[in-house]
Chains A and B, each alone.
Chain A
Amino acid sequence: MWLRKSVEKLTGSSRGFSSVIGTIFMVLLVVTSIAGVFLSTLYQNTLYNYAVRGQNQQELDARNENVVANGNYSVPSPGKVSVIANLTNAGPVTAQIVNLWVFDTSKQTYGFNNSVGNKPWANLTWTTLKAGQVLKFTSGNATKVTVPSAVSGDSFNIWFVTARGNTVPLTKSQSTTVINAQTSQGIGSIAMDFNSFVYYDVSNPSSNKYRLSGWPAGLSGYVLPNGVNIAFRVNVTNFDPQKRSLTFNALSAVWVIAQANNPQQPLSTWWQIVNVNGTGWITSLTPTTFSNVPLTYGGTTTLYFASSQVLSSSYSKNDFAMQQFGFASNQHPTLGVVNLVLFGTIGTSTTPNYGQNIPFVTVYIP
């Protein structure tokens, strides 16, 4: 009732009515204008808050990133440093490796490899490490860094850089390396893996084609057949105390000395080193087709021995020929001692300057 009267009174006076409308319009305009400024300011503040929050999260992620690099390095040739490492993501966030730096503190030179982030062998577009993941840069896919004037024996600082900007220093694998190096310093630069010693029957399916039967597994090398063409396989690791690379040439061999029921006249048989391809076929059938076998420091390589002839142009000049124990019936069963005869070059030398004999296993020929 009161409202109705008030409205009638208001609408009855045109002056008062227009003033009210004008005031309402003015207030609306002022409110709209202020609200626009307020909302815009609020929006900008929200954006800023989001950015601050995002940045804080990134800082937190960067602090939580914890990649551990454990490994070693070698200088296979002057100016080239080969880094072998296990990268372990010990943190809760995914990490990405973008660069590898090597600083030669002896020569005050440095180099980097920023293609470390792209490793096709790891099936990764980038070297991305999930939480708890381990990425292995083994001898076959070690990362090479060009460092001017670097040579074996120099001291190096090595570190990885992650995409978040953290640096991960390479910690040398002291525990095993030192022991192995000290051991090998006593007996030479090479260590051998007993578990990898196997033998293969060598088949000759067609003229001038030789294959290792049952490759790659092979048969346990501790009991060997007589009168059968066989080949040997063994894995060796380079623990040279001076961290030099090695190269084995055609004179390297497996030498078996058997008692053959006559201790005064033991019989010896030689299996010379050969090259075997990725499907078990012997590829070095002539001296010219044999390739020396390289082995970087800290790396492991597989050696095959199958030929009765030295595949060297400057030595016997003979082609490949299969080898077997040829004991007469009264000469076996017998025991034999196996020697790994390694010869070649070490370090930067181009002429033979390395030789090592590892008397490593005993075999039984029934």
Chain B
Amino acid sequence: MSLRKVWKLLRERRAVSVAISNVILAGAVIVVGFVVLFWGQSQSTAYNNAYSQTMSSDIASLQEKLTFENVFYNSTAKNLKVYLLNSGTQNNVTIKAVSVKNVITGTYLVWSSPVTLSGSKQYLDRAQEGYFVLFVGSLATGTRYSVIITTGRGSSFESTYVA
């Protein structure tokens, strides 16, 4: 394009305004387009991350398994000693809460959180055993009670015993 033509274009006010408006419009469209694109990307990434975390948590929870080796009620100390074995495939199984329920009446006697495991380690790795002691007060002899354990990952395990 020669200098004369540029000069002519610049002197033609209508043409300049159309060009500028087109540039502005195109720029705005590009910017808004990129904003929408990045927003969409971030939303999908956030969704992916959240879904991934939920799935990992669900899988870990699914793979947790606690076995009640023994539940013993000490009528003198009025406490319950619960021996556990991590028989699942997940390490680092923590106990978040324990409740004791009368099976016949359905009433909850104790709800305890947090629960302190024996020893300094407050979690059970695979194939590890541990126990905790829970003060439950007087229990009726011959009555069925159930101990319900909720783990840190949200799994629930239950065992019944007769006091």
Contacts and interface: CB of A to CB of B under 8 A. Distances in A.
Given A33-B41, A37-B47, A48 B58 contact: yes
A36 B55 CA distance: 17
Nearest to A103: B70
A52 B55 CA distance: 11
A165 B51 contact: no
Interface residues of B, number: 25
B44 interface: yes
Interface residues of A, number: 28
Given A44-B51, A48-B58, A58 B44 contact: no
A37 B48 contact: yes
Interface string B29-67: 000010001001100100110011001001100110101
B127 interface: yes
Nearest to B75: A108
Q: Main SS of the interface on chain A?
A: helix
Interface in B85-112: 85, 87, 89
A58 B40 CA distance: 41
Contact of B48 (A40, A52, A103, A163): A40
Contact of B85 (A29, A45, A98): A98
A165 B70 contact: no
17 contacts: A33-B41, A33-B44, A37-B47, A37-B48, A40-B48, A44-B52, A47-B59, A51-B58, A51-B63, A55-B63, A58-B65, A58-B89, A98-B127, A98-B129, A99-B69, A110-B70, A164-B87
Interface of B: 33, 37, 40-41, 44, 47-48, 51-52, 55, 58-59, 62-63, 65, 67, 69-70, 72, 83, 85, 87, 89, 127, 129
Give 9 nearest A-B pairs by CB, closest first. A165-B67, A165-B87, A51-B59, A44-B55, A40-B48, A37-B44, A48-B55, A55-B62, A161-B69
